[in-house]
Amino acid sequence: MPDIKKFKAKGIVPGKATGPALITRERVMFLGFTDPKQGIFHAPQTELRGKSFKGAILIYTSGKASSGGARAINLAVRAGNAPAAVVNLELDPITVAGCALDDIPLVQLEDSSIFDQVKNGDTVTVDADKGEVIASMTCPPKIGPLEMRDSCKITTGGSKSENKKVFGDAGISNSPGG
């Protein structure tokens, strides 16, 4: 069963969208960091390098001002590669302009807790009209390397010693809930 988290936000550009989270604490610059025609981040200086933002709920701290950023967002829209919505902690005028001109829902978070609770690939719904971001954290998270959430448990039929041989100290239990 997914773990649902709600985050309060201020709607900046109206609209509602759902998609997989693409999240970073970095400041994002659309011009220079992205290839809008392919819908991917390509700059070597970003942890998002190689990741697609097409249809994603793009969650990041703030944009990096570059007057061409709004144009890069527009190129992604024209190529069918735009993010479904943008979620920021701090607003910058270029991201606001790019989202407003291309009708991409944009919200500003009230606090930074989303960065500790949401992982890439979680299903996120942004409702700028209601001022909320709803994240459905999927269980189990990706396997290999095993990355566990506190709210997720994997249950096996093996004994504790057998599980420890296979999984180490990854939080695997041989009984439900523990």
**Residues with catalytic annotation?**
66
Q: What is the distance between the alpha carbons of residues 61 and 40, in angstroms, rounded to a whole number?
A: 18
Q: Identity (one letter) of the amino acid at 156?
A: T
Where would I find the H helices in the chain? 30-33, 69-78, 93-101, 114-117, 160-167
Sequence-separated (6 or more) residues with CB below 8 Å from residue 172: 154, 156, 163, 166
